[in-house]
Amino acid sequence: MTRLRIALLAALLATAAGAPAVAAADDVAPARRTAETAATTRNGLDIYRSFRDGLAAPECDAEATSPKWRQQFAHAPERLASPDDQTLPLFGYVVDEFRLAGLPTEFALIPFVESGYQPAARNGKGPAGLWQFIGSTARNHDVAVHAQYDGRLSPVDSTKAAVTYLRKLYGMFGGNWQLAVMAYNTGEGRVLQAVRNAGGDYASLGPSQLAGISPVTYAYVQKLHALSCVLEKNGDHDRWLSAMDRQVPRLTVQNLPQDAASLTGWARDNGHDPGLLARLNPALKNALWRSGNAALKLLAPAATALPGLASSTALNVADRIDKRNPPATPVAAARPVSVAVKAAPPPAAAATMADAGNAVEIAPPASRRSPANPPEANALPQRHVVQRGESTWSIARQYHVAAADLIRLNGLGKRGAIKPGMELKLQD
């Protein structure tokens, strides 16, 4: 009998000890699902905010916001807002690369002007790809261009080259982004000579003070600034912000094995949409891979969550700048953005995401963070002042209230339109 009692007691203790473990696992499951979503997707508004925070010249005058520019660049905000377009996730990848390099995000707009953000864009037998490099420029920046593979059509290879070149120009011209852009467009030699003729003061010289430069190059700087202002102005339109407020794939650089027979086959084997990968990586669409070729890289949606995501460490983008080759002058006017660097995955996960250890997530501002742990009811403030880039829906999610209630409380009408500076009631 004693033995039976001991056995029953042991069973009860084991059950009691095991119960919390099961409950804990159930509690963790939603958090794990949230972490996986955060690792594989990102919100479009976070991309937009990161772009705006990295601008060297966020101020917009009447000329930069004129109807002429709004009409010419209307396609840019439309394509970013379209859920059927690949531009927003690709734009997010390019913005991240410039933020991590400590460079102004005006540079991330160059593909809109050059190629319409189309990785496969070609201009006859001349410039090609997202950045419209000619063959000699591409080769000078270590981008392979030959019969079997044209790296100009790779968003990974070409963006890396563009960041490297613009970083060089940005340092060469003392952190003056406008002079760097002019040199990118017309050649550094011409701009250097024009600067010397004008007195050589990089910091204070503007495009209009340089003589002997092509009108096309002057217009190039105007276009980039006007385009940044068009996107900035769209932040005042609630409907556009609502369209941007969606999850898009987080694009990561992944290694293509040398024994891969085709991009389509690799995509299917790794759970990707072959059509999407072909559109993102036109350099690989018809490439012929031979044994012994250098390893190729491609841009693809992050396929899996990273273990240890919850213990991410936040740091400023400036801390990630390559210390071995820093730009000569930092981005003076760029505002920092928080970046979460994921913990490196174990070996088993590394095989499916080769660059997972370097994966980067732009941490959302407070107004865009998940409402998984909403504020307590008694902590809810009475009012909220609308900030640029916010929408009725993002504010409602921030305070864990219904958007319909927010619209009703403030008499916002059917569209729920708001503007920066408005003061919204959050409670009756």
| CA separation for the pair 107, 178 (Å, rounded) | 10
CB under 8 Å to 375, separation ≥6 — which residues?
399, 400
- Give the DSSP per-residue string, 311-367: G-EEEEGGGGS-TTS--SS--SSPPP-EEEEPPPPPHHHHTT-TTGGG-EEEPPPGG
Residue 152: is its pLDDT beyond 70?
yes
**What spatial distance separates the first Cα and last Cα of the chain, rounded to whole Å?**
66
Whether 202 contacts 229, CB under 8 Å: no
The ranges assigned to domains in the chain are 44-244, 377-425
Average per-residue pLDDT for the chain: 76
DSSP lists the bridge partners of residue 316 as 338
Quick one: DSSP state of residue 375?
P
| CA separation for the pair 189, 208 (Å, rounded) | 18
β strands within 180-322, DSSP E: 247-249, 251-256, 296-301, 313-316
Indicate the residue type of 270.
N
Which CATH architecture does the domain made up of 44-244 adopt?
A: Orthogonal Bundle (1.10)
Classify each residue of 38-67 as buried b or exposed e, where b means 16 or more C-beta atoms within 10 Å of its C-beta.
bbbbbbbbbbbbbbbbbbbebebeeebeee
Note the pLDDT of residue 261.
79
Nearest to 78 by CA among 280, 237, 250: 237
- Number of Cβ within a 10 Å radius of residue 215: 7
Note the pLDDT of residue 341.
31
β strands within 9-97, DSSP E: 41-43
β strands within 171-305, DSSP E: 247-249, 251-256, 296-301
Residue 245: is its pLDDT beyond 90?
yes
Note the pLDDT of residue 83.
94
Classify each residue of 138-172 as buried b or exposed e, where b means 16 or more C-beta atoms within 10 Å of its C-beta.
bbebebbbeeebbbbbbbbbbbbbbbebbbbbbbb
Band (pLDDT 50/70/90 cuts) for residue 1 is very low
**For range 337-353, the mean pLDDT:** 32
Q: Provide the whole-model pTM.
A: 0.67
Band (pLDDT 50/70/90 cuts) for residue 393 is low
- Number of Cβ within a 10 Å radius of residue 290: 9
Q: Which helix (H) or strand (E) covers residue 388, if one does?
A: none
Task: Choose the weakest-confidence range: 104-118, 218-232, 370-384.
Answer: 370-384
CB under 8 Å to 356, separation ≥6 — which residues?
252, 306, 342, 344, 345, 349, 350
CATH class of the structural domain 377-425: alpha beta
What are the tens digits of pLDDT across the range 34-49?
444 457 899 999 999 9
What are the tens digits of pLDDT across the range 174-218?
999 999 999 999 999 999 999 999 887 787 788 888 998 999 999
What are the tens digits of pLDDT across the range 360-375?
333 333 333 333 444 3
DSSP lists the bridge partners of residue 423 as 385
Band (pLDDT 50/70/90 cuts) for residue 277 is very high
DSSP lists the bridge partners of residue 122 as 128
Note the pLDDT of residue 295.
75
Quick one: DSSP state of residue 402?
-
What are the angstrom distances between the C-alpha of 297 and each of 155, 283, 355?
Answer: 10, 10, 10
Task: Choose the weakest-confidence range: 53-57, 201-205, 265-269, 322-326.
Answer: 322-326
